């Protein structure tokens, strides 16, 4: 299947909503209000099937700080899983992060093997690439605490998000 990876448009939000609904029912993705999807549409990329223009995957890159961003809402239509579309989309998100100047990418996921193929490691794993990956300077930590964004709370591993993140792995990639 041939796909084109492109920036999302407001007309894609309904398809993004459909993809999120597919996975949020089982707790694999966090549900988001549709208004939030419209507000953050500029963060999203989609994979559009060339044969009919149908959006079959989505993913977002949310910048948290000068050198830190999160991959969010990476979802592939179940009928298209295993075709490499998720890998293409993640590659585009990482390319975008590099272009923006981001050097660390965070994700919260059940799909550890998928993200590991792209160099992500679980936060807390002890290897030489991630001595203390979640550490940020004290002044940055204090600023991040002011954020209303749940992804920031997940990165900081704050207690208030624990019920929403049970079973997920926090992963980090250094670009």
What does the pLDDT look like over 12-44, one tens digit per residue?
999 999 999 999 998 888 888 999 999 999 999
Position 90 scores a pLDDT of 98
Extract the tokens encoding 162.
């624990």
- Phi, psi (rounded to 5 degrees) for 19: -65, -45
Is pLDDT above 70 for 77?
A: yes
Is pLDDT above 70 for 173?
A: yes
Domain ranges of the chain: 3-174
Lowest mean pLDDT among 34-43, 146-155, 157-166: 157-166
Position 123 scores a pLDDT of 81
Residue 172 contacts residue 130 (beta carbons within 8 Å): yes
Q: What is the rounded end-to-end Cα distance, in angstroms, of the chain?
A: 29
Higher pLDDT, 2 or 170: 2
Please give the CATH superfamily to which domain 3-174 belongs.
Gcn5-related N-acetyltransferase (GNAT) (3.40.630.30)
Q: Is 120 exposed, middle or buried (0-12, 13-18, 19+ CB in 10 A)?
A: buried
Residue 15 contacts residue 6 (beta carbons within 8 Å): no
Using 50, 70 and 90 to split pLDDT, how confident is the model at 132?
very low
User: CB 57: neighbour CB atoms within 10 A?
Assistant: 26
Mean pLDDT of 104-110: 90
Position 27 scores a pLDDT of 83
Is pLDDT above 90 for 71?
A: yes
Using 50, 70 and 90 to split pLDDT, how confident is the model at 137?
low
Q: Is 24 exposed, middle or buried (0-12, 13-18, 19+ CB in 10 A)?
A: middle
Is the pTM higher than 0.75? yes
Extract the tokens encoding 105.
């990418």
């Amino acid at each position: 299947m041939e796909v084109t990876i492109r920036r999302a448009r407001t007309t894609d939000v309904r398809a993004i909503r459909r993809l999120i609904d597919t996975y949020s029912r089982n707790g694999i993705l966090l549900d988001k209000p549709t208004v939030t999807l419209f507000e953050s549409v500029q963060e999203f990329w989609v994979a559009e099937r060339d044969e009919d223009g149908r959006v079959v995957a989505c993913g977002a890159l949310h910048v948290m700080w000068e050198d830190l961003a999160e991959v969010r809402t990476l979802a592939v239509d179940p009928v298209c899983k295993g075709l490499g579309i998720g890998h293409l989309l993640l590659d585009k998100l990482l390319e975008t992060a590099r272009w923006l100047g981001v050097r660390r990418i965070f994700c919260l996921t059940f799909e550890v093997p998928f993200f590991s193929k792209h160099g992500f490691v679980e936060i807390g794993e002890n290897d030489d690439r991630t001595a203390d990956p979640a550490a940020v300077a004290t002044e940055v930590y204090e600023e991040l605490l002011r954020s209303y964004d749940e992804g920031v709370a997940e990165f900081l591993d704050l207690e208030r998000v624990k019920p929403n993140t049970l079973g997920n792995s926090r992963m980090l990639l250094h670009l």
